[in-house]
């Protein structure tokens, strides 16, 4: 044997790329199949059009049957720290209240204003300026109002004005 024959025998073989390509193709097919199954409603991830139509029709009827009253909250003007050129937050809202509880909620309206005033003063200015944060802020304020008013009295908080100036 010569030295050249030894080198040829010891040279490593190139690995085949077939398993890699096959794995990639199967992963893409599996992902696409899972997406289609979820969208068609087979896996419970999507909803069929029949279910959506039923929910829309039922929701519209339920909304008409429920009697609600709205209790306005006194407008708030919150002074903000001087950062970013924003000086004040003007906030006004109304509470969606079950009709039997309207007198009780109106009686504790000053306490509700106090809770909202304290919360809005504590919120970071960056959170107030973020348009996507309004939903989170609304949920936080509603939760605080529900704690003050008691369970089942206030159903929702409708923000009428939320202006940074």
| Interval 56-81: pLDDT, tens | 444 545 555 578 999 999 999 998 87
Kindly state the tokens that stand for 7. 């080198």
- Structure-model confidence comparison of residues 94 and 55, the more confident one: 94
In this prediction, residue 107 carries a pLDDT of 95
User: 67-164 is classed in which CATH architecture?
Assistant: 2-Layer Sandwich (3.30)
- Give phi and psi for 24, each to the nearest 5: -65, -45
Q: What is the pTM of this model?
A: 0.59
The domain ranges of the chain are: 18-63, 67-164
């Amino acid at each position: 044997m010569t030295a050249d024959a030894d080198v040829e025998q010891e040279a490593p073989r190139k690995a085949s790329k077939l398993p890699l390509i096959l794995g990639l193709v199967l992963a893409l097919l599996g992902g696409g199949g899972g997406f289609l199954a979820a969208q068609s409603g087979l896996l419970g991830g999507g909803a069929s059009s029949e279910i959506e139509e039923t929910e829309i029709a039922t929701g519209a009827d339920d909304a008409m049957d429920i009697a609600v009253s709205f209790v306005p909250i006194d407008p708030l003007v919150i002074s903000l720290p001087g950062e970013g050129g924003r000086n004040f937050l003007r906030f006004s809202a109304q509470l969606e209240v079950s009709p039997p509880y309207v007198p009780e909620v109106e009686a504790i309206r000053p306490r509700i204003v106090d809770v909202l005033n304290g919360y809005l003063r504590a919120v970071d200015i960056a959170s107030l300026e973020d348009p996507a944060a309004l939903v989170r802020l609304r949920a936080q304020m509603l939760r605080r109002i529900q704690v003050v008013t008691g369970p089942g009295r206030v159903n929702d908080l409708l923000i009428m004005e939320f202006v940074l100036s």
